[in-house]
Amino acid sequence: MWKIEDAIDLYGIERWGNGYFSFNKNGNLSVRPGKKETLAIDLKVVVDNLSAKKIKFPILFRFPQILEGQIKELNGAFSHSISEYKYNNIYQGAFPMKVNQRREVMEEIVKFGKKFNQGLEVGTKAELLAALSFELGQEALLICNGFKDDEYLKLALNAVKLKNKLVIVIDEFSETRRLLELSKTMGVKPLIGIRVKLYSKGSGKWAESGGESAKFGLTTTEMLDCIKTFAEYEMLEQLQMLHFHVGSQITEIRRIQKAVKEAARVYAKIRNMHINIKYFNIGGGLGVDYDGSKTSSDASANYTIQEYANNVVYSLKDVCDEEGVSHPIILSESGRALSAYHSLLVINIKGDKNGNRNKLIEMRGDEPHIITELYDGSKEINIKNYIEYYHDALENREELLSLFNLGEIELEEKSTGEVLFLQICEKAAAFARETGNKSDDFDDLNKLLSKKYIGNFSTFQSIPDFWAIKQLFPVVPVSRANEKPTQYGTIVDITCDSDGEIDKFVDLKDVKEILELHELNNGSYYLAILMLGAYQDTIGDYHNLFGAANEAHIIMDDSGGWHIKQIVNGDRNCDVLGYVKYNTNSLLASFESEVVQAQRENKISKQEAEEIINNYKESMNQYTYLDM
């Protein structure tokens, strides 16, 4: 008998969910913002509530309290390590805005992070303009990274007059003298950091963003020249941060340990030059376990947050003690680990494509021999002969195609043969599951028989990293986990692009190309795509002019109840047209002109003309996704 525990194991939800997600006794996906089993939000109940309020799908759900939980976990991990290893300084975080610039997300991170002096990291003028609107904690840092022109530097230097804890990091050597000249001209002494280019690299998809060929950072020679330039301008006392970054989503803990040791040695040598470096900024890279395997695969990480903190603190302390220098404030720019878990997309499935293989076939008696053979095979296949009959059916299908290409059978006969072949395949697959046959033949057969579940969403808008780099994201049913899934399928979106398909899924042993799902019935069927909070919001594109999804921000109270904190409307058709420089008033004027001309030519009546124009106006203000 199928149990909830079977669904939890099948979808791996407690391996990758970090305590925030599970299935409840009703078979519904539940969200636990505080990781407490007794305080959980039934997502199906929320979905039904929003559906009743006529909020259209797809809907992106945000759970702000998960952001708070991740901030607490990261700070708690470093606090524990600092205490255990008797490290003589503190830890501070700085959230990199590039990971999720959405105002609603940033506001929550700033609010929850204030007690931990959580700062912000920016890499562009636009991000700095946004960051300057937030009130950070008294000791929190605002860190300016990225390539910088004079306007970026002027903006940052003016901000120094208002925020003493703003750090300008030199990412490229030519910025050094320009920064110091502008500082002198404006009479401002900013806190300055230098980004060092290490030999150490990270691991995973972004490993090449580190190492000696990295895009950012100073070589040893450039770093020493930079220090000489600071001395020339009598600004050495302002050099207070050493920064490095060896890549996003680092999958192997030993790579982190190696990078910290190398950078710690650089820090110690600079300190021994009587330069008061105060902050040791390890950058980002803290990995998220998307597939729950706890391995060094691209979609996982072979360490926990606590192990990450332990390795950073121990490795840094070990080098500092050996070199006889003081312990610096440890600072990290962890963004993915803080934000990934807090949002998920719920899509409604509008149907599936299965090739009509349930069609009832009735024989006339005068069919070609190939049709008769397939029909007999579909009737006689059983658990004892299914392997032989399946192989026979494969040969029969080849003969069917050959006969059609030679013009010896008609379309109707080809259609009948195809349906019979698929019916044999379905029976063979069922017998294989019953007998536990997991040979390659039947793995391929399951892929052949898998349905394409049509989801009302855009892969390119909502999960662009899947399309671009095949980043895995967990996909699970929102309900019916108490029913055994009987179908295999992939999820196709509603864009006019064959790349708009989720065909890689989380699995403990390997990446799956099909997912176990339920047979569609007359009711609604919803799927959730989880862990979308890092990067997906801001790198999504407008393929086919599908826009941002509707959003619902959900808060849970201490008693386990929930409420909708905020609804953020998604893009309308007029919005996305504006993004690609169409003026909606001009579009309407042009369209009205065509309608008027058609009326003059008596192609349509006056009433029809009014209806057509009104329909056009209404469509302009409608949600870009299907109304279903």
What 295-301 contacts at long range (C-beta under 8 Å, 24+ apart), as own/partner pairs, is 295/251, 296/203, 296/204, 296/251, 296/252, 297/251, 298/204, 298/205, 298/249, 298/251, 298/471, 299/471, 299/472, 299/506, 299/511, 300/251, 301/249, 301/250, 301/251, 301/253
Q: Which residues have a Cβ under 8 Å from the Cβ of 446 and sit 6 or more positions away?
A: 429, 488, 514
What is the pLDDT at residue 511?
Answer: 83
CA distance 119 to 129: 15
Residue 253 lies in a domain: yes
CA distance 559 to 564: 15
Tokens of 266: 């650089």
Residue 420 lies in a domain: no
Best CA proximity match to 336, nearest among 78, 533, 94 = 533
> Which ranges of 233-349 does DSSP label H, i.e. alpha helix?
253-271, 305-323, 336-339
- Last-in-domain residue among 334, 357, 373: 334
In the block, residue with structure tokens 């963003």: 209
What is the pLDDT at residue 295?
Answer: 92
- Last-in-domain residue among 334, 349, 366: 334
In the block, residue with structure tokens 């996003």: 248
DSSP states along 241-275:
EEE----SSB--HHHHHHHHHHHHHHHHHHHTTT-
Tokens of 532: 């979308």
Strands (E), 32-126: 41-42, 59-62, 91-96, 119-122
Provide the residue range defining the domain that includes 135: 65-334
What is the pLDDT at residue 207?
Answer: 66
CATH of the domain at 266: 3.20.20.10
Residue 258 lies in a domain: yes
Greatest Cα pair distance in the chain: 100
What is the pLDDT at residue 293?
Answer: 92
- Last-in-domain residue among 307, 334, 361: 334
Give me the amino acid identity at 72.
K
What is the pLDDT at residue 216?
Answer: 79
Q: How many structural domains comprise the chain?
A: 2
Look at the pTM and tell me if it is higher than 0.75: yes
CA distance 243 to 332: 9
C-alpha distances (whole Å) from 224 to each of 198, 271, 501 are 14, 13, 50
What is the pLDDT at residue 358?
Answer: 74
Residue 419 three-state SS: helix
Residue 171 lies in a domain: yes
Residue 169 lies in a domain: yes
CA distance 60 to 551: 5
Residue 453 lies in a domain: no
Q: Which residues have a Cβ under 8 Å from the Cβ of 53 and sit 6 or more positions away?
A: none
Residue 411 lies in a domain: no
What is the tens place of the pLDDT at every residue in 95-137? 999 999 999 999 999 999 999 999 999 999 999 999 999 999 9
Spell out, as residue ranges, where the chain has pLDDT lower than 50.
none
Are the C-beta atoms of residues 23 and 4 closer than 8 Å to each other? yes
What is the pLDDT at residue 73?
Answer: 98
Residue 248 lies in a domain: yes
